[in-house]
């Protein structure tokens, strides 16, 4: 009896404290990726929210590899697991994960909604629901060694042919001087989503389109696409190490940042790290748009990437989870991340903010890069995007590894994608 009374009293006290405004503390778990310092920045941002609201956060580490992260998320969400409340999701996943995510429209203010890049808000809107809020935006960039280009009197390459020649000239010059470690060009050649981004950039830069067009038509079997792949194949073992076929973002950055490459293709996050106090190439790095292909349809093409925050439908604390998303995607927090980690804001106004531009000089050129960015065909292929990407990556990796003529493999890929897309009805 005494125990029942004590329990009842405890319940009353708990109810009182709730209604008196001292909210019950909950623990919200958030998954963040781990490219470079992503984990640290996610932790510090989430901790700041926890301190402000009196809640707790638990960071769930996930693989840096986009494909591995998606597989993990799909397993958890299919099981309706409550383990993760807030998911960091890639720009190519909203359609794939939408059925498991809550509508976050109410947490985005009118002002922020108008300030976010429209392309990102549209990308996160599935069947009229805002299934994720834009967090940072990525576009492929060309990193180069200012000191080495200067030493050899070479300009920043405007075309891939120029890049190839310059890389070779610098490598040869350095080798003569006894430094045969330096590589010409490092990029992401492993068979994963990062290769889909690199290959899309090469193909689009030759005017070879974006794999599947906006109407759902498969366009990959074309001569410019084949030419682009043959060009990249020619780099392997010449200006790029053979090992590039197993490089993801961090492996490329490792080579470039230790001073052993003239050029690197990577996302903006590599800027802050290349210029960090302990970086051997601090102050020696420049950033430019990726080169154009050759031919009359050539253009600059950066793959559009980036990440969003979403709340799981199976979360036990959807309100707190949504509030954490609101906080992390706010202008204040996006600015902190831009200053500390060169994670590019999704809010346009931060590109004219003097502090963010001083920390990231390439921000002044970023708006045109964004405008010419090439999106992967994830909206039109919807839930089938991952299959499209896997088939594309398998074909490209095979062609780069020397398995057949690129033009022949593209014929097969085209057929495979057409079957998958049911002749454009995806
Ligand atoms: C970055 C991009 C993402 C892309 C991935 C590929 O994380 O933000 O969009 O899919 O790299 O590795």
pLDDT one-digit tens code per residue, 100-128: 999 999 999 999 999 999 999 999 999 99
The alpha carbon of 388 and the centre of ligand 1 are apart by a number of angstroms equal to 16
Return the ligand 1 atom nearest residue 138 CA. 8
CA 356 to chain CA mean position, Å: 20
Position 6 scores a pLDDT of: 42
Q: How does residue 2 score in pLDDT terms, banded at 50, 70 and 90?
A: very low
29 CA distance to ligand 1 centroid (A)? Answer: 22
Mean pLDDT confidence for 241-246: 98
Per-residue confidence band for 91, with pLDDT thresholds at 50, 70 and 90: very high
Ordered structural domains, the chain, with CATH: 9-139+304-366 (3.40.190.10), 141-303+375-421 (3.40.190.10)
Does residue 4 carry a pLDDT above 90?
no
For ligand 1, the distance from its centroid to the CA atom of residue 284, given in whole angstroms, is 25
CB atoms within 10 A of CB 411: 13
Q: How far apart are the C-alpha atoms of 165 and 102, rounded to whole Å?
A: 50
Instruction: Check pocket membership of 142 for ligand 1, CB cut-off 6 A.
Output: no
- Whole-structure pTM value: 0.93
| Residue labelled with tokens 């392309």 | 119
| CB 344 near ligand 1, within 6 Å | no
């Amino acid at each position: 009896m005494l125990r029942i009374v004590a329990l009842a009293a405890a319940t009353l006290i708990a109810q009182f404290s709730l209604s008196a405004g001292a909210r019950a503390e909950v623990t919200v778990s958030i998954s963040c990726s781990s490219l470079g310092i992503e984990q640290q920045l996610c932790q510090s941002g989430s901790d700041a929210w926890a301190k402000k609201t009196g809640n707790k956060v638990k960071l769930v580490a996930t693989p840096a590899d986009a494909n591995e992260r998606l597989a993990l998320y799909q397993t958890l969400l299919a099981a309706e697991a409550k383990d993760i409340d807030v998911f960091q999701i890639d720009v190519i996943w909203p359609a794939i994960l939408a059925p498991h995510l809550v509508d976050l429209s109410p947490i985005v203010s009118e002002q922020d909604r108008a300030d976010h890049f429209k392309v990102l808000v549209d990308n996160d809107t599935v069947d009229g629901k805002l299934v994720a809020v834009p967090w940072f935006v990525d576009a492929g960039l060309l990193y180069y060694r200012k000191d080495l280009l200067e030493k050899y009197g070479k300009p920043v390459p405007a075309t891939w042919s120029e890049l190839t020649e310059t890389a070779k000239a610098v490598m040869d010059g350095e080798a003569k001087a006894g430094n045969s470690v330096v590589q010409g060009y490092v990029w992401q050649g492993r068979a994963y989503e990062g290769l889909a981004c690199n290959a899309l950039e090469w193909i689009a830069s030759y005017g070879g389109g974006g794999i599947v067009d906006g109407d759902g038509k498969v366009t990959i079997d074309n001569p410019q696409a084949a030419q682009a792949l043959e060009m990249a194949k020619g780099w392997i073992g010449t200006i790029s190490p053979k090992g590039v076929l197993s490089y993801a973002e961090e492996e490329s950055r490792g080579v470039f940042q230790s001073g052993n490459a003239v050029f690197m293709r990577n996302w903006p996050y590599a800027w802050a790290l290349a210029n960090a106090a302990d970086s051997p190439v601090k102050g020696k790095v420049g950033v430019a748009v990726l080169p154009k292909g050759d031919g009359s349809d050539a253009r600059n093409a950066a793959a559009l990437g980036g990440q969003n925050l979403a709340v799981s439908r199976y979360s036990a604390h959807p309100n707190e989870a949504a509030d954490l998303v609101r906080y992390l995607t706010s202008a204040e927090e996006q600015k902190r991340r831009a200053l500390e980690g060169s994670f590019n804001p999704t809010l346009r106004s931060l590109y004219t903010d003097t502090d963010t531009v001083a920390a990231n000089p390439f921000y002044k050129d970023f708006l045109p890069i964004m405008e010419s960015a090439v999106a992967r065909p994830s909206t039109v292929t919807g839930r089938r995007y991952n299959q499209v990407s896997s088939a594309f990556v398998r074909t490209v990796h095979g062609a780069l590894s020397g398995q057949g003529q690129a033009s022949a493999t593209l014929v097969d890929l085209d057929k495979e994608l057409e079957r998958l897309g049911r002749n454009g009805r995806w």
